[in-house]
Amino acid sequence: MRPQSQNKVPEGPRVNQRIRVPEVRLIDYDGEQLGVVSIQTALARAEERGLDLVELSPNAKPPVCKLVDYGKFKYQQNKKAQEVKKKQVSVEVKEVSLTPNTSTNDLQTKQNHIKKWLDQKNRIKVSVKFRGREMAHIDLGRKIMQVLYDGIAHCASMEGEPKMEGRRLIAMFIPKLETKIKKATE
């Protein structure tokens, strides 16, 4: 049996002796194309310059390899990955729960929370929960949802119409594009 460490697949591109092809398309450290050369010639050039031979495109025919300092190469790859990760925007879905009997003060407080979340570019899920006999008055739930929407209509748009899911009336709100543009121009 082999030990666990030998079964591990190495991460990243193949480097130096791990490149197992007869010929490679070689790129110099400066980015200059050196053409198709044998693997022995490419490894010899890398060794005489004190650099590593790194396989950039293993699926190309022949594979594309470059003469680089592998430590510096890995560092630059990590930096690029961090930049991409930094630019990604994670959108959260915040949830607000109401009842048909929610008071106006509570509704205004919830509107303020929703406005703050919309400024942070989050999506909002608003649900009106019906208990017991309140199911007979779904129109009250629709009215409270409309009052809430009227208070935030300047900065939010509703995704579709409110829908019933079991004993809840649910609507999704997303930030409006115009509010982002107005803030940018101010």
CATH number of the domain encompassing residue 64: 3.10.20.80
pLDDT, residue 128, reads 94
Centre a 10 Å sphere on the Cβ of residue 69 and count the other Cβ atoms it contains. 15
Cis peptide before 10, with omega less than 30 degrees from 0? no
| pLDDT beneath 50: ranges in the chain | 1, 179-182, 184-186
What is the amino acid identity at position 20?
A: R
Is residue 46 located within the same domain as residue 99?
A: no
Is residue 53 located within the same domain as residue 97?
A: no
Q: How far is CA 8 from CA 4, 48, 59, 144, 182, in A?
A: 7, 31, 21, 59, 53
Contact 144/128 with Cβ under 8 angstroms?
A: yes
Is residue 16 located within the same domain as residue 63?
A: yes
Quote the mean pLDDT of the chain. 85
Is residue 180 located within the same domain as residue 116?
A: yes
The number of distinct structural domains making up the chain is 2
The rounded distance, in Å, linking the Cα atoms of 94 and 77 is 35
Rounded to 5°, the CA angle 140-143-145 comes to 110
Question: Domain range holding 53?
Answer: 11-71
The rounded distance, in Å, linking the Cα atoms of 20 and 31 is 23
Contact 64/39 with Cβ under 8 angstroms?
A: no
Q: How far is CA 116 from CA 112, 113, 130, in A?
A: 6, 5, 26
Is residue 176 located within the same domain as residue 101?
A: yes
Is residue 102 located within the same domain as residue 178?
A: yes
Is residue 33 located within the same domain as residue 97?
A: no
24: in domain: yes
Residue that terminates a domain, selected from 39, 71, 103? 71
pLDDT digits (tens, 9 = 90+) for 99-151: 999 999 999 999 999 999 988 888 999 999 999 998 898 999 999 999 999 99
